[in-house]
């Protein structure tokens, strides 16, 4: 562009400065809220709730949170790609746990892990192809693959519970600590760091964000979008597998019904963390914060003697509030 | 220089008895201000013209009046009473009916069902069919259009759909009727019919707000006219106090008009780079096309003639049913058989719908620019952030992005600056062929000048340029040769010397056939 064109343009339209957006509480809550809320919640719990700030309690919170957290950081990819969520993580987590314990009882741990890995890739491929290539609705596809997966699992296991040997390697992994920290917590943090790097720094993560922000524009930039979707589902599946390993190792037992509610709880962490269900906006670190928020909130309710019913109700209400804020904030910011 | 209209007008001025007023309306989208402190008032029986370039804010203002958009500031007043902001129901109850620019009919429903849609007469949950048909036939009679009430909308011509749309507005017994570019898809005869109808309706006391690009229509029916530019109300004048060219000056801004008219120095065009043969696709009935290196080929025609479908078929964004596309560069000829092969062989495509197809609005400008250029910006699949920053900054400067803040989300920028981002991301690939579909629609005049310059620079650098535009002055200004498309075929080809508004329009509308030109 030449200077005269610029000067002519400026003479007429003036400098088109972007106006500073006025403060909007909803926009603030969806973009910055989680950082403040989580900090406040932890501080309040530490001061007012008896037994919260003990090492045993914190360890317990993380042991419970780790499997769901690992699933959630993986599933963040599907949510950011604007494909809502992967419901089939319920089947995937249980399958990975059952395969880990049942197959290593029969043969050995590496064989069990290898089989679980192949199954995870299959889940990612089937979900990804149906959604990314055939453009089927992600919710219905993954609801169906949950049915297929749980069906196969129950068919093979006959609904039985598998126990690992009391002195086995799986058991010792499940109970292992590094310093004061349980190993499951280390796995969660490692997964968060790795997936955060993938999402923010790699070509693939960039395409997931771009696809989630505007799939048509991404396709028209010459991107093979089917692979982006398959990749997002595959990452979720691998995370679900690792989550299943951690869950199975911690309890040293596995049964097809052990991961009920994982889909919703993972989604709760993602949405509360501030990742938008409309796609494009969000991060893996936010999901980790969401996991902490939801887990601490649940822990507070447990320590205050509130029953499971109340906890369930509170998490449900939290999600309705979070998605509504997401939606309103999006409207308010005009995009 | 906003002078009050004098008493010389043929019909009444709004004076103190305005039926509808917009008071200091401001509407922003993200960071862009689409309507900036605009006030207008319209009296019963008046036909009020609203003109301005694409993106001047006309449609946004009308959507505020109809309660579809909530203004950020200001209000809509009907009969001296302030209307609930952003409520379509309140607007409808106050008697405001909007005939949309994009048709808003449901294609699968019948004419009658569409006319009553939203106000369907029901009893105990059942549709009262007889009453529905009565309402529909009354409305059609009012505008004197005959069409079978049970015909589904899909089976009607575009023009008939437009009239059904108007019947739908009339069925709501409006006191204010707003029409947004109702003649864009009509033939001259149909336009005549529509204008007569509006004059008759105004004679019955209806207040009409009429948006059009076509200045002669404004002069034929309007009492007063307001000119919008870049969201500002430039002037409101009585039609008897102004001449057509003065309106155009106000629309464009006098200084820029000259700028827009500077014609391109003809470049010696090189070899044929883009060759399309026998292209067929839905809406495209067999088209051959060549574009040479350094040449700007324009595609003119009416909306719906098949131009967008043609370029999408050529570049492979939509599937074509027949035809071949080849790109010839560096002495090699390569077939284009998919969108991705087109892009990798050196095509760039700037789509018609910038917001839905061109940009990821929630991502930064930098990310948007990086998107098609990833291969040169990453190593081992890891993005090189520093390199992306410099790369995007360079291109943002080259297209004159304002403000030049590449870390802001694309959605924060004005339409013109968003379009510059779309151009920047493709410039980074140094394309051999660039296809631009309505490159300056909804863009302010300043950005338009800059975008035109960029397109010319590309051509001078040897890129083959194919541009679709409904903006005739733009097409005449940019293109070395214009193919006019009608009904999915090329109706005629005009060289730069032969082309003027008349010759393009007569080919586009099929007028020349009738007159045996």
Q: Are residues B127 and B71 in the same domain?
A: no
CA torsion angle B405 B409 B414 B417 (round to 10): 50
Question: Chain A closest CA to B417's CA: distance in Å?
Answer: 9
Helix residue spans in A252-283 (DSSP H): 262-272
* pLDDT one-digit tens code per residue, B192-231: 899 999 999 999 999 999 998 777 888 999 999 999 988 8
d(CA B479, CA B455): 10
3-state DSSP helix/strand/coil % of chain A, to nearest 5: 75, 5, 25
- pLDDT, mean over chain B: 86
Best of B431, B449, B457 to mutate (most A CBs within 10 Å, chain A) = B449
- Tell me how far apart the alpha carbons of residues A246 and A68 are, in angstroms, rounded to a whole number: 10
Q: Residue B488: which region, alpha, beta or left (left: phi > 0; alpha: psi -120 to 50)? A: left
Residues of A in contact with B420 (CB under 8 A): none
Least confident of A59-68, B132-141, B393-402, B497-506: B497-506
Q: Are residues B301 and B167 in the same domain?
A: no
What would the pLDDT profile of B304-329 be if each residue is shown by its tens digit? 788 999 999 999 999 999 999 999 98
Confidence of residue B254 (pLDDT cuts 50, 70, 90): low
Of all residues in chain A, the one with the smallest CA distance to B448 is A9
Q: How many domains does chain B have?
A: 3
Q: How many CB atoms lie within 10 A of CB A26?
A: 18
For residue B84, what are the CA distances in angstroms to A124, B60, B67, B118, B310? 50, 17, 8, 19, 45
Chain-chain contact of A222 with B360 (C-beta, under 8 angstroms)? no
Q: Are residues B280 and B355 in the same domain?
A: yes
Q: Do B69 and B62 contact (CB within 8 A), yes or no?
A: no
Residues from chain B that touch A202, judged by Cβ atoms under 8 A, are 378, 381-383
Banded pLDDT at B263 (limits 50, 70, 90): low
Class of domain A23-333: mainly alpha
- Minimum distance, in Å, between the CA of residue B454 and any CA atom of chain A: 7
Q: What is the 3-state secondary structure (H, E, C) of B487-511?
A: CCEEEEEEECCCCCHHHHHHHHHCH
**Whether residues B450 and B362 fall in one domain:** yes
Kindly identify which residue of chain B lies nearest to residue A334, measuring between CA atoms: B30
Q: Does residue B284 sit in the same domain as residue B424? A: yes
Q: Where is the domain boundary, B126, B141, B172?
A: B172
Highest mean pLDDT among A125-129, B5-9, B376-380: A125-129
- With an 8 Å Cβ cutoff, are B450 and A9 in contact? yes
Tokens standing for B219? 């002069």
Q: Which residues of B touch A216 (CB under 8 A)?
A: 356-357
Q: Do A206 and B446 touch (CB under 8 A)?
A: no
pLDDT value at B516 more than 70: no
- Give the one of A1, A21, A210 whose C-beta lies nearest to B454's C-beta: A1
Question: Do B489 and B405 fall within a single domain?
Answer: yes
A219-233, B269-283, B295-309, B375-389: range with highest mean pLDDT = A219-233
Three-class secondary structure of residue B57 per DSSP: coil
Nearest-angstrom CA–CA distance, B280 and A233: 37
Note whether residue B227 is domain-resident. Answer: yes
CB contacts of A6 in chain B (<8 Å) are 400, 450
Q: Say if residue B196 is in the same domain as residue B340.
A: no
- The alpha carbons of chain B give a radius of gyration, in whole angstroms, of 24
Query: CB–CB of A214 and B359 under 8 A?
Result: yes
- Residues in chain A closer than 8 A to B370 (CB atoms): 206
Which of B28, B318, B360 best tests the A interface by mutation, with the highest count of A CBs <10 A? Answer: B360
Q: A194 to chain B: which residues are within 8 Å by CB?
A: none
The two beta strands, B20-29 and B232-238, are unpaired
| Whether B181 and B121 share a structural domain | no
Assign residue B474 the CATH number of its domain. Answer: 3.40.50.300
Nearest to A334 among B398, B411, B447 (CB): B411
Contacts with A220 from chain B: Cβ below 8 Å = 317, 339, 349, 351, 357-358
Residues B362 and B389 in one domain: yes
Residue in this structure with the two tokens 């990798």, named with its chain if needed: B344
In angstroms, the separation between the Cα of residue B36 and the nearest Cα of chain A is 13
Residues B208 and B313 in one domain: no
CA B82 to chain centre: 31
Cis peptide before B403 (omega within 30 of 0): yes
List pLDDT tens digits, range B153-171. Answer: 888 887 888 899 999 999 9
Split at pLDDT 50, 70, 90, the class of B3 is very low
Residue numbers in A near B357 (CB within 8 A): 214, 216-217, 220
- Distance between A334 CA and the closest CA of chain B, angstroms: 5
Q: Is A307 exposed, middle or buried (0-12, 13-18, 19+ CB in 10 A)?
A: exposed
Question: Nearest Cα to A261, choosing from A279, A273, A243?
Answer: A243
pLDDT of B243 higher than 70? yes
Whether B293 and B313 share a structural domain: yes
Contacts 24+ apart (CB under 8 A), B399-406: B399/A1, B399/B423, B399/B424, B399/B427, B399/B450, B399/B454, B400/A1, B400/A5, B400/A6, B400/A9, B400/B450, B401/B365, B402/A15, B402/A16, B403/A15, B403/A16, B403/A17, B403/A18, B405/A18, B405/B365, B406/B364, B406/B365, B406/B366, B406/B369
How is B410-461 classified by DSSP, letter by letter? GGGS-HHHHHHHHHHHHHTT--SEEEEESTTTT--HHHHHHHHHHHHHHHHT
Give the whole-angstrom CA distance, residue B58 versus residue B37: 13
Name the pLDDT band for B255 (thresholds 50, 70, 90). Answer: low
| The two three-digit tokens of residue B271, written as one number | 């070899």
Which residues of chain B neighbour A16 with C-beta distances below 8 Å?
A: 402-403, 414, 416-417, 444, 446
What does the pLDDT look like over B64-93, one tens digit per residue?
999 988 999 999 999 988 989 888 889 988
Is B244 part of a structural domain of the chain? yes
Is position B264 within any domain?
no
Q: How many residues does chain B have?
A: 517
Given an 8 Å threshold on Cβ–Cβ distance, is B360 in contact with A224?
no
* Chain B residues touching residue A30 (CB < 8 angstroms): none
Please report the pLDDT score of residue A244 as a whole number: 97
Q: How many CB atoms lie within 10 A of CB B264?
A: 17
For residue B75, the cross-strand partners are: B23
Residue ranges for chain A with pLDDT beneath 70: 1-22, 333-335
- Identify whether B15 is part of a domain: yes
Bridge-based pairing state of the strands B481-486 and B296-300: parallel
Residue B251 has pLDDT above 80, yes or no: no
Q: Both ends of chain A: CA-CA distance in Å?
A: 29
Expressed as residue numbers, the domain containing B181 is 1-95+174-259
Q: B161 and B185 share a domain?
A: no
Cβ-Cβ pairs closer than 8 A, A with B, add up to: 135
Question: In angstroms, rounded to a whole number, what is the distance separating the alpha carbons of residues A249 and A7?
Answer: 69
Rounded to whole angstroms, the Cα distance separating B9 from B222 reads 10
Measure CB to CB from residue A222 to each of B344, B351, B409 and give the nearest one: B344
Compute the average pLDDT of residues B340-368: 92
**Min CA distance, B71 vs chain A (Å)?**
12
């Amino acid at each position: 562009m030449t200077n005269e064109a610029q000067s002519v343009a400026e003479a007429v339209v003036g400098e088109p400065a972007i106006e500073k957006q006025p403060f909007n509480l909803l926009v603030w809550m969806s973009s910055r809220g989680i950082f403040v809320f989580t900090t406040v919640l932890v501080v309040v719990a530490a001061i007012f709730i008896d037994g919260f700030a003990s090492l045993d309690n914190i360890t317990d919170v993380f042991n419970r949170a780790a499997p769901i957290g690992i699933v959630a950081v993986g599933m963040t990819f599907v949510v950011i790609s604007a494909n809502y969520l992967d419901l089939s993580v319920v089947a995937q987590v249980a399958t990975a746990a059952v395969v880990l314990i049942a197959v290593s009882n029969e043969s050995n741990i590496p064989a069990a892990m290898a089989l679980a890995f192949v199954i995870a890739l299959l889940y990612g491929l089937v979900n990804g192809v149906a959604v990314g290539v055939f453009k089927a609705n992600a919710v219905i596809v993954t609801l169906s693959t949950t049915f297929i997966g749980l069906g196969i699992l129950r068919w093979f296991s006959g609904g039985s519970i598998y126990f690992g040997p009391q002195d086995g390697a799986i058991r010792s992994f499940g109970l292992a600590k590094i310093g004061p920290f349980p190993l499951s917590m280390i796995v969660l943090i490692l997964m968060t760091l790795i997936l955060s790097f993938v999402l923010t720094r790699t070509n693939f993560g960039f395409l997931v964000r771009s696809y989630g922000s505007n799939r048509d524009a991404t396709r028209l930039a010459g991107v093979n979008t089917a692979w982006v979707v398959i990749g997002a589902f595959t990452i979720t599946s691998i995370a679900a597998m690792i989550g299943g390993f951690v869950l199975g190792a911690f309890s040293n037992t596995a049964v097809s019904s052990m991961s009920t509610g994982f889909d919703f709880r993972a989604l709760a962490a993602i949405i509360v963390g501030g990742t938008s269900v409309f796609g494009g906006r969000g991060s893996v670190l936010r999901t980790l914060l969401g996991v902490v928020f939801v887990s601490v909130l649940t822990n507070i309710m447990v320590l205050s003697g509130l029953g499971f019913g109340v906890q369930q109700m509170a998490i449900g209400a939290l999600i309705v509030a979070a998605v509504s804020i997401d939606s309103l904030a999006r409207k308010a910011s005009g995009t | 220089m906003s002078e009050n209209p004098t008493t010389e007008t043929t019909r009444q001025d709004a004076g103190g008895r305005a039926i509808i007023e917009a008071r200091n309306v401001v509407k922003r989208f993200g960071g862009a201000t689409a309507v900036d402190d605009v006030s207008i008032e319209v009296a019963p029986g008046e036909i009020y013209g609203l003109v301005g370039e694409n993106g001047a804010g006309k449609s946004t203002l009308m959507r505020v009046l109809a309660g579809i958009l909530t203004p950020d500031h200001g209000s809509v007043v009907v009969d001296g009473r302030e209307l609930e902001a952003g409520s379509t129901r309140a607007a409808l109850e106050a008697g405001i009916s909007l005939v949309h620019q994009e048709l808003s009919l449901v294609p699968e429903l019948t004419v009658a069902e569409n006319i009553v849609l939203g106000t369907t007469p029901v009893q105990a949950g059942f549709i009262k069919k007889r009453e529905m048909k009565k309402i529909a036939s009354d409305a059609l009679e009012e505008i004197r259009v005959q069409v079978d009430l049970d015909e589904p909308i899909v089976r009607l011509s575009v023009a008939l759909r437009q009239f059904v749309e108007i019947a739908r507005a009339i069925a709501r017994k409006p006191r204010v009727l707003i029409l947004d570019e109702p003649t864009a898809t009509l033939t001259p005869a149909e336009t005549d019919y529509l204008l007569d109808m509006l004059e008759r309706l105004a004679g019955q006391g209806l207040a009409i707000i009429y948006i059009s690009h076509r200045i002669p229509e404004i002069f034929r029916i309007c009492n007063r006219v307001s000119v919008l530019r870049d969201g500002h109300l430039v002037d409101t004048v009585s039609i008897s106090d102004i001449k057509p060219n003065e309106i155009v000056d106000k629309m464009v801004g006098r200084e820029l008009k000259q700028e827009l008219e500077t014609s391109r120095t003809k470049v010696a065009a090189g070899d044929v780079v883009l060759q399309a043969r026998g292209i067929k696709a839905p809406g495209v009935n067999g088209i051959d096309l060549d574009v040479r290196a350094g040449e700007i080929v324009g595609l003119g025609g009416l909306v719906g003639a098949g131009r967008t479908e043609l370029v999408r078929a050529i570049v492979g964004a939509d599937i074509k049913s027949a035809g071949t596309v080849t790109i010839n560069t560096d002495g090699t000829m390569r077939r284009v058989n998919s969108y991705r092969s087109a892009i990798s062989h050196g095509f760039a495509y700037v789509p018609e719908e910038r917001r839905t197809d061109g940009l990821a609005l929630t991502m930064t400008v930098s990310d948007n620019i990086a998107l098609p250029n990833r291969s040169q910006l990453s190593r081992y699949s890891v993005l090189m952030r520093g390199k992306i920053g410099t790369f995007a900054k360079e291109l943002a400067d080259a297209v004159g992005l304002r403000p030049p803040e590449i870390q802001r989300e694309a959605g924060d920028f004005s339409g013109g600056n968003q379009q510059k981002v779309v151009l920047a991301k493709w410039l980074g690939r140094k394309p051999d062929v660039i296809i631009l579909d309505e490159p300056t629609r909804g863009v302010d005049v300043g950005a338009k000048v800059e975008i035109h310059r960029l397109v010319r620079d590309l051509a001078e650098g040897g890129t083959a340029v194919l541009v679709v535009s409904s903006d005739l002055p733009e097409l005449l200004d940019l293109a070395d040769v214009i193919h006019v498309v009608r009904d999915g075929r090329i109706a005629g080809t005009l060289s730069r010397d032969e082309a003027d508004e008349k010759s393009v329009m007569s080919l586009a509308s099929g007028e020349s056939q009738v007159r045996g030109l």
